[in-house]
Chain A
Amino acid sequence: DTGVSQDPRHKITKRGQNVTFRCDPISEHNRLYWYRQTLGQGPEFLTYFQNEAQLEKSRLLSDRFSAERPKGSFSTLEIQRTEQGDSAMYLCASQGRAGNEKLFFGSGTQLSVL
């Protein structure tokens, strides 16, 4: 499968624990995005990378959230001290060189915080 892959597909954790998600984009894509989606809502932008540089971060993003893309390939999203409100689908998408090219989405990681 040469599409965007995300791991794990599902994560159940207890409040206060840290969680980390991984995204592997399409190999030649240099842009990578993280979105969050809750029930009944559209995807909400969290952050994006151009190669290894994190170029934008949503003002809504708590400082408990951190993302990396160390070698400009895969990316990780970490949530520290999880809260019940963090329960959501976390989507990764990659994009080719131009800003207006289409996004290719992964299947997402469903996080449930108990």
Chain B
Amino acid sequence: AQRVTQPEKLLSVFKGAPVELKCNYSYSGSPELFWYVQYSRQRLQLLLRHISRESIKGFTADLNKGETSFHLKKPFAQEEDSAMYYCALDNYGQNFVFGPGTRLSVLP
């Protein structure tokens, strides 16, 4: 079955430190992966998707098919990055499977 795991419920880093939020998936075929973010009191929104190969707000994510991972990285965390982050998998164009989420807390 298609599944997304995010092993860390909470990740705390200091401002300016590098951050990596882990995401692993199980999927048959070529996966389409996304990172969604939910800031405090805001709705869930797309941060980035692997197909675009873009950097958004300094975040990047590389799809590693060998390790079935799609980790989210940022070299220098900012306080405004504090939020819930969800990794998601496009399930054959029918729906999206979300991971349980990681709460990122960037400390001053």
Contact = CB atoms under 8 A, between A and B. Distances in A.
B93 interface: yes
A43 B43 contact: no
Contact of B43 (A100, A102, A106): A106
Interface string B1-22: 0001010010000000000000
B32 interface: yes
A48 B36 CA distance: 19
Nearest to B95: A45
Interface string A29-49: 000010100001111110010
A12 interface: no
Contact of B46 (A41, A44, A56, A103): A103
A56 B44 contact: no
Contacts of B98: 35, 42-44
Contacts, number: 55
A25 interface: no
A43 B86 contact: yes
Nearest to A50: B94
Interface of B: 4, 6, 9, 32, 34, 36, 43-46, 49, 51, 86, 88, 90-91, 93-101
Given A35-B98, A41-B100, A106-B43, 14 more contacts: A33-B96, A40-B9, A42-B6, A42-B99, A43-B44, A43-B86, A43-B96, A44-B98, A45-B97, A48-B95, A91-B44, A100-B49, A100-B51, A103-B96
